[in-house]
């Protein structure tokens, strides 16, 4: 018996698309230029900052091969990173630390990092396009969010590459100071190796996200102990 056809074909079409400059061209036709693409890297890890980037591409010098950073190898990302820095009109990045993530939450920290990146561009954009569902508040211009934007827009894809490369480099620097955790291999994600290191070494102060599992319970205990001590004082 033949397998029935899916009644949700658009879900799979989105997975196969590749970014282009059509979203940006529509904005240009509306008189909204320059257009900045915004994206972040590092929402899911147990450790390290969330990093965002903002990129204004030159329509006449778009690097070939731009794509969602998750669909590229590390070597491809590094090569495209260099091409973006060479050819783009403006590039910036910003981050929010693990402490900021714990103090607010990962969604708010991601949006704040994107806001900082957009505001740091050497050229003020007239329009910003972001990956996901949310447009950060406090941008220097109007903005619009696009689901799977890093697979639909060259500018957002470029931002995703810059954010990912910069975050990986930051985690590589963390690895040089905290060699026992192996950050250079997993970049803070919850791999088996990382979880084993946490079990053996405990949390790394100011680097691990204490509001993320498996730290959340321990963090709640620490807070309770601090309250008790404060009451005793």
CA 187 – CA 181 distance, rounded (Å): 10
The answer to whether position 65 is within a domain reads: yes
User: What is the residue range of 136's domain?
Assistant: 9-177
| pLDDT tens for the chain, residues 1 to 233 | 344 333 333 333 445 689 999 999 999 999 999 999 999 999 999 999 999 999 999 999 999 999 999 999 999 999 999 999 999 999 999 999 999 999 999 999 999 999 999 999 999 999 999 999 999 999 999 999 999 999 999 999 999 999 999 999 999 999 999 999 999 999 999 999 999 999 999 999 899 999 998 887 544 444 333 333 334 44
pTM of the model: 0.85
Q: What's the total number of domains in the chain?
A: 1
CATH number at residue 100: 3.30.420.10
Closest alpha carbon to 169 in 188, 153, 152: 188
SS3 of residue 123 by DSSP: coil
The rounded distance, in Å, linking the Cα atoms of 190 and 215 is 12
Q: Is residue 186 part of a domain?
A: no
Structural domain contains residue 154 = yes
Cα maximum dimension of the chain: 75
């Amino acid at each position: 018996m033949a397998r029935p056809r899916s009644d949700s074909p658009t879900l799979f079409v989105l997975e196969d698309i590749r970014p282009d400059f059509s979203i940006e061209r529509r904005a240009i036709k509306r008189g909204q230029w320059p257009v900045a693409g915004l994206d972040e890297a590092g929402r899911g890890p147990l450790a390290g900052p969330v990093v965002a980037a903002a990129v204004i591409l030159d329509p006449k010098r778009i690097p070939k091969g731009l794509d969602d950073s998750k669909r590229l190898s590390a070597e491809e990302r590094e090569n495209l990173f260099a091409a973006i820095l060479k050819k783009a009109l403006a590039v910036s990045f910003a981050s929010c630390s693990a402490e900021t993530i714990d103090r607010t939450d990962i969604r708010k920290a991601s949006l704040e990092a994107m806001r900082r990146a957009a505001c740091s561009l050497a050229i003020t954009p007239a329009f910003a396009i972001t990956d996901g569902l949310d447009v950060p508040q406090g941008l220097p211009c109007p903005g619009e969010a696009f689901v799977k934007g890093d697979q639909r827009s060259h500018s957002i894809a470029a931002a995703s590459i810059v954010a990912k490369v910069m975050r990986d480099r930051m985690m590589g620097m963390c690895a040089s100071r905290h060699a026992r955790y192996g950050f250079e291999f997993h970049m803070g994600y919850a791999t088996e190796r990382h979880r084993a290191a946490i079990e053996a070494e405990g949390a790394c102060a100011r680097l691990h996200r204490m509001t993320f599992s498996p730290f959340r319970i321990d963090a709640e205990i620490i807070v309770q102990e601090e309250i008790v001590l404060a009451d005793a004082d």
